[in-house]
Structure 1
Amino acid sequence: MQSPPTREVTQLCFNGCYPTQPEKPATVSKTPVNSRVEARRNFADTTSTSLFPNIDFNNPDSLPCLQEAFAQFIIAYPQYTETYQIDEIRFREYYNLSLSNQVCLDYIGIGLYSFSQLHNQLSQTYPFASTSTSPPQIPPHSSDFPVFHLSYKSVNLTRQLTEGGNESNLEMAIKNRIRDFLNISEDDYSLILTANRTSAFKLLAESYPFGSCKKLITVYDHDTEAIDTMISTSEKRGANSMTAEFTWPKLKIHASKLRSMITSKKIGSCKKGKGLFVFQLQSRVSGTRYSYQWMKVAQEHGWHVLLDACAVGPKDMDSLGLSIFQPDFLICSFYKVFGENPSGFGCLFVKKSVVSILEDCTAGIVSIVSAKKLFYMTDESSDVENELGSSSSSFTSRWEHGETSTSGIIKGTSAQKSEDSPYEIKQLQNVFEKQNVEKRIEIEELENVFEKLPMRGIKGMSVREKGNKPSEIEELEIISEKKPARNTRKRNSEVECRCLDQIDSVGLSLVNSRSRYLVNWLIQALSKLQHPNVDTRAPLVKIYGPKIKFDRGPALAFNVFDWKGEKVEPILIQKLADRKGISLSYGFLHHIWFPDKYANEKSVVLEKRRFEAKESSGNRKKEKGDLGIRVVTAAFGFIANFADAYRLWVFIAQFLDADFVEKERWRYTALNQNTVEF
């Protein structure tokens, strides 16, 4: 069959992907902790045997419909029904995703507000049809209004960290909410805001004492602008940078080499420390998870540790708790609204006990300006630079190479007339004007369908055998479940970050479980796509990094190959997906180490990075870093659902048709009366 039309997919999603009415099941049996290792051990086998057993799909028309695929999905992962709360949140707070028929799989991160929150506030505050020339009326509690502006300011970094600065009530409230969400105490860490993720890494590189603590180790299996900027800045200041390597084909850390780097005494360390160890708990491109014990090893050998939490799951920080390892620095980022507006800011946390080692520098940081102040301010405020440029129909160009920068893009304005409103307001105005009555009717129809949905049973799991030790991921979930639920009513009432509140209410176990089922189903489904009429088994898709695995991350790196075995360029796949309403990204995997038994694959697999701006000039280390694999990336966020994964599968299956690319090129030319370069 052909892929379902737009409206049919939406309706099927609400009939199949929402397992329950917005009331909780009468009895929900808690899965015993002792059963989890048993489930983990059987997870891969269950996935392989329950999903499309002994079936390959050679034709895009042979794929099962959404309802049939979802039925098989629930048989394989019955515990998915326990995540019904997230379906309710998506239905109620992010209905824009269904109404716009958009699948957002192009960035990992955490939003501050829900679409419903933003829509309601804007509708109450800004009557878009009004032609009044007077400034719009701001509600009495203007700090509740979820639109804010970022303005630059130059400060002395160490003074800002020790003494703080003049912060608005809104900025203080948002900072406190972020600390609370990440479980980071104000007594232990200072927090400053930056324009985006890259700015935070650059700021730390400019202030860390690389002149004396000369070592820098980074642990990233993919190219990222933030780390490239940190390495370049630190090397100019005297650092000796080293990078971890990742073993082919599973892209695990080359453990012996990394341990050797950490314990090496070839370059003497200063009294302040050996250097800076930059670590992430999971790859934002391949989904590979790394043991947090590496932070402990680095600390025991005198390194300062920077934890990159930008790709950490929404609740992982809550259960991991900084009390376990106490990294010296932590960087994360927050955007505004998932699926609508990924602009936001970066956060740099500095442990107060290490502020004294940082060198004085004039730092460019940002302040949060409230909506009320924004509408009365003049053009005095500076523009906030957009890190990766703008995008037309999707956000894909802003998230190139797996980056989730959250740069602000709003200018200061006098706002004398409605056409002078800030960029975000005008952007949202266009969205809301198109929705209005028609979309409200559709929401009512969907609500009627939703109310009639039957309850689905929830099956338990087998009892765990004695002596099995839970994995790190399981330990985090166990810790999270033992912690008392947070009382959101006691939080600072000056600001409501509804998305953070929603994630808090759901918890780590459900968030991780949901993404675990979705990403592993997609991997199994993609592996079943095989080219027809070939002598040997010719898979359409190649997965990089972990395959079907219980504790893999929610990101996926893959490539598509035609029937001749030639790779379809990731940028082409991204563009074609964008036309189907599916936002993907692409990345560059690098620092790959090939064991002897895979040595013959090295020349076939690796390719040169394509951009002239960073062409190496005789530097052998840089030339080595320019070899890697260009890949397509997909990432499942907090409110992704099965229909999102299914639609991506249906799209990728179209490449089984040898003429699919040429058909799309012809269709684009016919519709737009011009040619397109792929």
Structure 2
Amino acid sequence: MSSPCIKEVSEACFRRCCPTPMLGLPEKQSPEQTLSPARYDFIAATAFSLQPNAQFTNHESLPDLDRSDSSLKKAYPNYMETNQAEKIRDQEYYQLNLSNHVCLDYIGHGLFSYSQQLHSNAPFFNIIYKSVNLYTQLTHGGPEHQFETVIKERIFRFMNISSDDYSLVFTANQSSAFKVLADNYPFHTYKNLLAVYDHDSEAVDTMIDSCRKRSGRVDSAVFSWPNMRIQSKRLRKLVVNKSKKKKKKRGLFVFPLQSKVTGMRYSYLWMSLAQENGWHVCLDANALGAKDMETLGLSLFQPDFLLCSFYKIFGENPSGFGCLFVKKSRSSVLKNSVTSTGLVNIVQASSRPLFLQQSGSIGRNKEKGVAMAASSSLISSPSSNHEAFEIQEVKECSEEKKELSFSEVLRRDRFFDTAEASSSGISSDIEFRGLDHADSLGLVLISSRVRYLVNWLVNALGSLKHPHSEEGVPLVRIYGPKVRVDRGPVVAFNVFDWKGAKVEPTLVQKLADRHNISLSNAALRHVCFVDKSSEEREILIEVKSIENDSDGQNSPSTKKKEKPQVAIPVIMVTLGFLTNFEDVYRLWAFVSRFLDADFVEKERWRYMALNQTTVEV
């Protein structure tokens, strides 16, 4: 998995304050005790991106967009070098501007662009479900359409992974990728599953269920509140093999490199430590941004398994597929695999039956519907909780399909490909402009751009204080890293009123949607409270209440074993390389409206006046 741009990236890390891949050793993962001059300069620049020590107690006192944009560029002179991303957005994703809708609720890799969808005959795809043995598929392959081969080659290049080292199979979605791996992993031999997630994950839950059904043991990393750093001593204790006689077979270590909810980044060295102690490492790359696979660490610590997902179009109703990469030297671990139902083949789409589809008519038919939707509002965009990317393709095709073998389907498909391409003039070339755009910008530009925007947003949200308060009660509480060079492009936060009561995240999300801003929500888990602030005491009371409610007829031993895990709801904002400054400014301006104690009630009456109906907000 060696990267062709390691030297470029390594130099840029020091020159542009990019996060260093080795930051935070597992043994001593702790807050920065000392800051390098470059990091100190970045934090200082972020403070000046608004006003020095600025506090805003009224939404009308915020500087306007132009003034704020000017301040950002003065604080981050290199931000202007990322204007290429603005040009791509204007030319290829212009619906983001025309719709006047801010999308901050998605994460992942889009294969195609809006422009490509609306104005070309670019081929899109559908999926065919298949029931095959995973190990056989990995070692011997199977019937594969040329279209699928091209996609595989493109994804290998984009993910910076060598096909000489890894095998790739496609799954129906992200959750299916987790389930396929878990169902085929030998938990009867390697009995442990150790996951590093600070939030609820439907995909990980499927893996946990599969492990427990085979009497496996499930453990999790624990995170300190509210910065959400890994409690390294506890995790190290779980990872390290204490057996000195022989190398103990541990199990599966599932590791995301960064939280897709809080943006907290973790050290690559956790993977190395796990491998040294007999674990098989599964890297969850779904939270990684575009080109993040080209960082230095991944060329040094090659995981045994890797999971990621792709979708068709940013903003389209989620439809895509998941990817499961297996290191060829580790394929034998799955030799006793079972028949997996989550695996799929990918074929080109057309107006023909689903199982015989090529590009052309479906793309042209979709164009009208998509254009109409885009003219009124932005198409519903994929949730940043990428597990929601469940394929909505028709799972059961015609009776004719059921009677055909898969090889027969592909044989007929190839015939139609040739005939239709010759009659319609459709090019056999496949463009993946979504991936091409990320490649053209590169890791350094994308990471720099997103870093400037996310840290400006964190600083801006922290500047909002409730009025008439001597202590300056903050409107927003952020969970995870604050202003830091090495933070992910995600912000988890909650809004609190002037009395200190939390505004429900679902309510904030709903009101944001009325202001044409798409946010998402999540639930933090595996949290350990160190300092008991008022908010933490409220959460602990909630946990105690759950424990009391679950007492019933449970014995003390059962209650201890089944101790409930509280979920802490939060609002989640995700930035990508298509995000621009106006997007984050509009979010800041919206959140500032909660400084008005009557904002929620005003919105309720405003909605009633416009819609002539009462709807619970």
TM-score range, shorter chain: 0.7 to 0.9
Match of 2:505 in 1: 570
Q: For 1:536 and 1:505, how far apart are their aligned partners in 2?
A: 48
Is the CA contact 1:214–1:269 (under 8 Å) kept in the aligned structure 2? no
Corresponding residue of 1:603: 537
Q: Tell me which residue corresponds to 2:346.
A: 368
Give the length in aligned residue pairs: 531
**Is the CA contact 2:99–2:378 (under 8 Å) kept in the aligned structure 1?**
no
Structure-2 residue corresponding to 1:630:
569
Shift of 1:49: 3.7
How far off its partner does 1:675 sit? 2.2
The 1:326–1:521 alpha-carbon spacing in structure 2 relative to 1, beyond 3 Å, is same
The answer on whether the counterparts of 1:195 and 1:406 sit within 8 Å (CA) in structure 2 is no
Alignment partners' CA distance in 1, 2:169 and 2:509? 35
Q: Is 1:308 paired with 2:284?
A: yes
Paired residue type of 1:165: G
The structure-2 alpha-carbon separation of the partners of 1:35 and 1:377, relative to structure 1 and needing over 3 Å to count, comes to closer
Paired position in structure 1 for 2:322: 346
Aligned-pair RMSD on alpha carbons? 2.8
- Residue of 475, 478, 491 corresponding to 1:540: 475
> Does 2:492 correspond to 1:557?
yes
Aligned partners of 2:598, 2:533: CA distance in 1, in Å? 34
- Asked if residue 668 in structure 1 is aligned to residue 607 in structure 2, the reply is yes
Q: Mapping of 1:73-92 within 5 angstroms?
A: 73-92=72-91
Residue 226 of structure 1 aligns to a residue whose secondary structure is helix
The alpha carbon displacement at 1:604 in A equals: 2.6
Q: Aligned residue for 1:214?
A: 191
C-alpha spacing 1:377/1:556, structure 2 compared with 1 (3 Å): same
1:389-428 correspondence runs (5 A): 399=383, 402-411=385-394
1:269 shift after superposition: 9.1
**Counterpart pick for 1:528 among 463, 476, 479:** 463
**Per-residue deviation, residues 296-337 of structure 1 (Å, max 9, x unmatched):** 000011100000000112111123375411211000011111
Matched, 1:163 2:140: yes
1:19 is matched with none
* Matched-pair contact (CA < 8 Å) for 1:582–1:648: yes
What is the aligned partner in structure 2 of residue 186 from structure 1?
163
Contact between 1:114 and 1:338, CA under 8 Å: does it hold in 2?
A: yes
- Between 1:561-570 and 1:658-667, the stretch displaced more is 658-667
Report the CA distance shift for 1:534/1:40 in structure 2 as closer, same or farther (over 3 A).
closer
Deviations along 1:621-641, one digit per CA (max 9) or x if unpaired, are 786552142100000012101
Q: Which residue of 2 aligns with 1:389?
A: none
On the 8 A contact 1:94/1:116 being kept in 2, the answer is yes
**What corresponds to 1:460 in structure 2?**
none
Pair 254,74 (structure 1): closer, same or farther in 2 beyond 3 Å: same
In 1: Cα distance, 2:532 partner to 2:296 partner? 36
Summarize the alignment of residues 432-511 of structure 1 with structure 2, pairs less than 5 Å apart: 494-511=429-446
Q: Offset of 1:493 from its aligned partner?
A: 7.4
Please name the residue that 2:364 is paired with: none
Deviation at 1:598, TM superposition (A): 4.2
Equivalents in 1 of 2:156, 2:214: separation in Å? 31
Tell me, in whole angstroms, the C-alpha distance in 1 between the residues paired with 2:449 and 2:63.
Answer: 22
Counterparts of 1:536 and 1:404, CA distance in 2: 41
Q: Deviations over 1:42-66 (max 9, x none)?
A: 2112212442223321111111110
Give the partner amino acid of 1:511: I
2:355 and 2:345 mapped to 1: Cα distance?
16
Q: Secondary structure at the match of 1:54?
A: coil
SS at match of 1:367: strand
**Which residue is equivalent to 1:283?**
259
Change (3 A) 1:380 1:506: closer
Alpha carbons of 1:32 and 1:152: their partners in 2 closer, same or farther (altered >3 Å)? closer
Q: Is the 8 A contact 1:210 1:237 kept in 2?
A: yes
In structure 1, C-alpha distance between the alignment counterparts of 2:447 and 2:484, rounded to whole Å: 13
Shift of 1:34: 5.3
Q: Distance in 2 between matches of 1:541 and 1:321?
A: 34
CA distance in 1, matches of 2:344, 2:145: 12
Distance 2:287 2:448 in 1: 17
- Per-residue deviation, 1:39: 2.5
Question: Match of 1:192, SS?
Answer: strand
Q: 1:563 to 1:600 in 2, by over 3 A?
A: closer
1:337 pairs with 2:313 = yes
Tell me if 1:120 matches 2:119: yes
Conserved 8 A contact 1:314-1:503:
yes
Q: CA deviation at 1:157?
A: 1.2
Write the distance in 2 (CA, Å) between the matches of 1:505 and 1:622: 52
CA 1:194/1:528 → structure 2, altered by over 3 Å: closer, same or farther?
Answer: same
Deviations 1:123-150 (A, max 9, x none): xx5xxxxxxxxxxxxxxxxxx42x2112
User: Residue type of the partner of 2:192?
Assistant: K
1:314 alignment partner AA? A
Q: Give the Cα–Cα distance (whole angstroms) in 1 for the partners of residues 539 and 519 of structure 2.
A: 22
Percentage identity across paired residues of the two chains: 53
Closer/same/farther in 2, CA of residues 116 and 196 from structure 1, 3 Å limit? same
| Aligned AA (1:313) | G
Shift of 1:593: 1.6
Residue 151 (structure 2) pairs with residue 174 (structure 1): yes
CA distance in 2, matches of 1:180, 1:622: 46
TM-score, reference length from structure 1: 0.74
2:592: which partner in 1? 653
Offset of residue 594 of structure 1: 2.4
Q: Which amino acid aligns with 2:214?
A: R
| TM-superposition CA deviations, 1:655-678 (whole Å, max 9, x none) | 111111112122222322322223
CA contact 1:577–1:583 (8 Å) conserved in 2: yes
CA contact (8 A) 2:317 2:382 kept: no
Aligned residue identity for 2:566: L
Per the TM alignment, residue 258 of structure 1 is displaced from its structure 2 partner at its CA by: 0.5
* Preserved contact between residue 104 and residue 518 of structure 2 (Cα < 8 Å): yes
Aligned to 2:412: none
Q: Tell me if the contact between 2:247 and 2:277 (Cα under 8 Å) persists in the aligned partners.
A: no
Q: One-letter code of the match for 1:327?
A: P
- Find the residue that maps to 2:131 and give its secondary structure: strand
Task: Give the letter aligned to residue 276 of structure 1.
Answer: L
Aligned to 1:580: 515
Kept after mapping to 2: 8 A contact 1:616/1:622: no
Instruction: Report the CA distance shift for 1:600/1:106 in structure 2 as closer, same or farther (over 3 A).
Output: closer
Residue ranges of structure 2 left out of the alignment (5+ in a row):
1-10, 18-35, 358-375, 399-426
CA deviation string 1:421-459 (max 9, x = no partner):
xxxxxxxxxxxxxxxxxxxxxxxxxxxxxxxxxxxxxxx
Compared CA separation, residues 393 and 67, structure 1 to 2 (3 A):
closer
Structure 1 49/321 Cα, relative in aligned 2: closer, same or farther at 3 Å? closer
Q: Deviations over 1:468-522 (max 9, x none)?
A: xxxxxxxxxxxxxxxxxxxxxxxx9732111111111111111011111101111
